[in-house]
Amino acid sequence: MDEALTRDLEAFLRERGASLVGYADLSPVPPEVRGGMPRGVSIAVALTPSIVAGMADGPTEVYAREYVRVNDFLGTVADAGAAWLKERGWRAEARRATMDELPSDLITPLPQKTVATLAGLGWIGKCALLITPEFGPAVRLNSILTDAPLAPGVPVVESKCGNCRVCVDICPGGAPSAREWKRGMERTAFFDAFACHDACQRIGKERGISILVCGKCVARCPFTVRWLSKASA
């Protein structure tokens, strides 16, 4: 592995606004899903603290705009990172932070949070979002697929949520089952994505928000609350 390349890419991405950067060995993922690329670069950007703090009771128009802004920003950061790797002779493909149209089963071939857990950035919470120690789930994710010899992080293989039930108890759709995630577990075993989707649609109509967002679990997660407390200190 090229340690200098690994450090330099992280510095490059952080200079352009990445809050967290991690590197994943994608060998557990089928080759056709990862385009034959052996490595993934996971990029997280934290949401604006004041906006997150304002959505403890559900989504706001400001949050909806922030969601779109950060997704677009992540596209720019990933594109720059892929170009940086290509300039150094490696293959690289920047992905998109979100999909314009969700598949009928609400399952993407290679979720951004899968790359993130393989890179060691966090674990999957009971709310089915990536939980980072630094920001909780108050991040958006993107990734780059590459063949560059980047030094991978240590994958996270199980939840660290423990007995916490915050997202379970406040979810307006009753989507989390309270079961904890472990690597290889099907999402349906611990989370009802359709219940989440339907609740987001209902709340969006009630509040005049055009995109599928809720955010209660994002704002109320204890890891998010801890981050918000530090950010406001």
Where in the sequence numbering do the catalytic residues fall?
A: 100
Do 224 and 135 contact (CB within 8 A), yes or no? yes
Bridge partners (DSSP) listed for residue 209: none
Tokens for 51? 């906006």
Q: Give CA–CA dist 81/159, Å, rounded.
A: 29
Do 37 and 91 contact (CB within 8 A), yes or no? yes
Burial class (CB in 10 A: 0-12, 13-18, 19+), 55: buried
Q: What would the 3-class secondary structure string for 3-21 be?
A: HHHHHHHHHHHHHCCCCEE
